[in-house]
Amino acid sequence: MVKELNIPSRILMGPGPSDVDPRVLKAMATPMIGHMDPKFMTVMDEVMQLLRYVFQTENELTVAMSGTGSAGMETVFVNLLDPGDQVIVGVNGLFGERMVDVAERCGAEVIQIHANWGDVFTQEQIETALKNNPDVKFVALVHAETSTGALQPLEGLADIVHAHDALLILDAVTSLGGSPIKIDEMKVDACYSGTQKCLSAPPGLAPVTFSKRTLDVMENKKNKVQSWYLDLSMIRDYWGSERAYHHTAPISMNYALHESLRIIKEEGLENAFERHERLGKALHAGLEEMGLELHVDEKYRLPQLTAVRVPEGVNEAEVRQELLNNYSIEVGAGLGALKGKIWRIGLMGCSCKETNVVTLLGALEQILKDKGAKIRLGVAIEAATKVMFHKKVNE
Ligand SMILES: Cc1ncc(COP(=O)(O)O)c(C=O)c1O
């Protein structure tokens, strides 16, 4: 007999999924209804409305695609790119690499620009690539590179891209809801995200948003969208006023997203950004006070995902296992070029709370001490606490 599932309760402090509020889990137990039920149409309308709030956009085409963040990535590329189109892709981590792969599968001519894993792109670098490739139609960048913990500055970027008659595509899988991303103000043309990071819903939906400029591109696309499932010309008819059946929407996932977005709205986006910023800085302070090195320069450090270098002589996998087995804390391993060299500690959405910072620092200190790592003992939590409650103390 296969037994009933017996899943332990974890503290999710990896690169996602993040902890899910009990209200979201409860929403998933809401009765099943049909994907064409008028009540579900209301759910969809409200999901669109709330997504516009978190994306900070008026874009009409703002929907939750069925699938994880990678489906969001594919949605953007398959709907905008024609074979032979030139696209500049910024590669400074694993997800830039994935964008290259997806764009190439669309038959695009991909021009890669590179930065070290952990660095970001300068405006000059992007402008030079545009000048050298005058036929480029799109520039695609990762806003929050989850594989390295770096946050790409966006100020002024879209103006440069637009001045060269190209459009800006942005991966906001890890930034949406955690770091300021103002689609309209920053003039981002197409953006995709995922539900399991700072939105704190389970994985399974990919919010996407498209500017008016991209609608023209879609209308004038020479070739049929290569993916039937992700073809927005049909998906729009389901999410829009036509309500035409396309595929059976994942009903419970939409309930979950609806509730998680309501929670963000209740907190207020600005407050959510402040919480991520403050607790991210607190974690950074604690780790550094302990004597650990952070992988990303302070200027570009993501608050919601911190890459910490593994101290010499320490087996990184053993530390992760002990965190999981003894403390039920999940943190992430390094990927690609950073495999074995870093841990990735997430403070995303509901996981981004004071008690998690303290618990992680205490547990990590104890494990590293037992392993004989050269760290300073008894100082990390105090350093983090000072940053965490600094604002409140001064209020
Ligand atoms: C920046 C970024 N882009 C894309 C993805 C792909 O999302 P998913 O794993 O949900 O398909 C991830 C996942 O971690 C990510 O962090």
The SS3 of residue 316 is: helix
Q: Scanning the structure block, which residue is given the tokens 């990184």?
A: 316
What does each C-alpha distance from 259 to 28, 50, 64, 223 come to in angstroms? 9, 10, 14, 38
Share above pLDDT 90 across residues of the chain, in percent, rounded to a whole number: 98
Q: How many whole angstroms separate alpha carbon 241 and alpha carbon 262?
A: 23
What pLDDT score does 390 carry?
75
- Who contacts 241 (Cβ-Cβ below 8 Å, separation ≥6)? none
142 lines ligand 1 (CB under 6 A): yes
Q: How many whole angstroms separate alpha carbon 225 and alpha carbon 133?
A: 25
- Measured between its terminal Cα atoms, the distance across the chain in Å is 58
179 lines ligand 1 (CB under 6 A): no
pLDDT (tens digit per residue) in 304-333? 999 999 999 999 999 999 999 999 999 999
Share above pLDDT 70 across residues of the chain, in percent, rounded to a whole number: 99
Closest CA to 190 of 129, 139, 114, 241: 139
What pLDDT score does 131 carry?
98
What is the mean pLDDT of the segment spanning 367-372?
A: 97
Atom number of ligand 1 nearest to Cα 206: 10
pLDDT score of 395 more than 80: no
Instruction: Determine contact, residues 30/254, Cβ cutoff 8 Å.
Output: no
pLDDT (tens digit per residue) in 210-262? 999 999 999 999 999 999 999 999 999 999 999 999 999 999 999 999 999 99
Q: Where are the alpha helices (DSSP H) in the chain?
A: 22-28, 38-55, 69-80, 94-105, 123-132, 157-163, 212-219, 232-239, 251-267, 269-290, 316-327, 354-370, 380-388, 390-394
194 lines ligand 1 (CB under 6 A): yes
CA of 39 to the centre of ligand 1 (A): 31
Best of 94, 152, 173 for a ligand 1 pocket test (most atoms within 8 Å of beta carbon):
173
What is the mean pLDDT of the segment spanning 152-176?
A: 98
Q: How many whole angstroms separate alpha carbon 256 and alpha carbon 201?
A: 6
Q: Which amino acid is at 176?
A: L
What pLDDT score does 165 carry?
98
Backbone angles phi, psi at 91, to 5 degrees: -115, 105
Q: How many whole angstroms separate alpha carbon 215 and alpha carbon 223?
A: 15
pLDDT (tens digit per residue) in 98-156? 999 999 999 999 999 999 999 999 999 999 999 999 999 999 999 999 999 999 999 99
Best of 120, 174, 330 for a ligand 1 pocket test (most atoms within 8 Å of beta carbon):
174
pLDDT (tens digit per residue) in 179-217? 999 999 999 999 999 999 999 999 999 999 999 999 999
Q: What's the mean pLDDT when you consider all of the chain?
A: 97
347 lines ligand 1 (CB under 6 A): no
pLDDT score of 393 more than 90: no
Q: How many whole angstroms separate alpha carbon 374 and alpha carbon 4?
A: 44
Cα 259 from chain centroid (whole Å): 18
Here the tokens at position 54 are 């978190």
Best of 12, 18, 70 for a ligand 1 pocket test (most atoms within 8 Å of beta carbon):
70
Q: How many whole angstroms separate alpha carbon 384 and alpha carbon 168?
A: 37
Q: How many whole angstroms separate alpha carbon 124 and alpha carbon 113?
A: 12
- Who contacts 282 (Cβ-Cβ below 8 Å, separation ≥6)? 354, 357, 384, 385, 387, 388
CA of 173 to the centre of ligand 1 (A): 6
Q: How many whole angstroms separate alpha carbon 52 and alpha carbon 11?
A: 29
What pLDDT score does 392 carry?
54
Q: How, if at all, do strands 144-145 and 150-151 pair? A: antiparallel
171 lines ligand 1 (CB under 6 A): yes
